[in-house]
């Protein structure tokens, strides 16, 4: 497994994340846009993920909930902007526990020699909002999810 790199440079309201996976780009893209695959890896393993809607198209909305073992729920939602493709996905992201704090996220997938680097660039409305996300433990949560994605990708068969 490779390392999840999280960068939150001082003085700018964004976070950059990158991680390399031993899988072709189309397979990694499928894991990001297929709800049946997404629930298998996104977020901490101790939470059950429930998808309310996942309409992957320009203007399409998405919403999912993570439920912890005690039944507490943590909802997230957003909108896809532009047509999502293996070249990239742009979407808004809002944690329902902090309404009004919306980020704009761009995902890109770069393939080299059968391996794919996932890069996300998330822009926040303020440094305070960005710092709150960093302090929430998002890096550990993303790393755990990406570890689960690594395992899932190893079990998937590319579509011909």
pLDDT value for 160? 58
CA atoms within 13 A on the CB side of 84: 25
Q: What is the mean pLDDT of residues 87-108?
A: 95
136 pLDDT above the threshold of 90: no
CATH of domain 5-155: 3.30.530.20
Closest CA to 31 of 160, 132, 155: 155
Looking at the whole model, is its pTM more than 0.85? yes
The share of the chain scoring above pLDDT 70, in percent, equals 97
Question: What pLDDT score was predicted for residue 159?
Answer: 64
pLDDT (average), residues 96-112? 94
Q: Answer whether residue 158 shows pLDDT above 90.
A: no
Cβ–Cβ < 8 Å for 29, 23: no
Task: Write out pLDDT tens, residues 37-55.
Answer: 999 999 889 999 999 999 9
Strands 48-54 and 73-85: unpaired
Rounded mean pLDDT of the chain?
94
CA distances from 43 to 16, 32, 160 (A): 17, 12, 29
pLDDT of residue 98: 87
């Amino acid at each position: 497994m490779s390392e999840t790199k999280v960068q939150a440079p001082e003085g700018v309201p964004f976070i950059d994340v990158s991680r390399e996976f031993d899988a072709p780009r189309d397979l990694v893209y499928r894991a990001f846009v297929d709800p049946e695959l997404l629930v298998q890896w996104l977020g901490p393993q101790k939470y059950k993920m429930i998808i309310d809607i996942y309409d992957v198209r320009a203007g399409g909305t998405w919403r999912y909930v993570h439920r912890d073992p005690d039944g507490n729920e943590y909802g997230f939602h957003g909108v896809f902007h532009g047509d999502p493709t293996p070249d990239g996905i742009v979407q808004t992201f809002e944690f329902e526990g902090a309404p009004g704090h919306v980020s704009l996220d761009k995902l890109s997938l770069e393939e080299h020699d059968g391996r794919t680097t996932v890069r996300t660039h998330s822009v926040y409305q303020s440094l305070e909002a960005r710092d709150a996300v960093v302090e929430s433990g998002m890096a550990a949560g993303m790393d755990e999810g990406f570890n689960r994605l690594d395992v899932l990708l190893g079990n998937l068969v590319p579509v011909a």
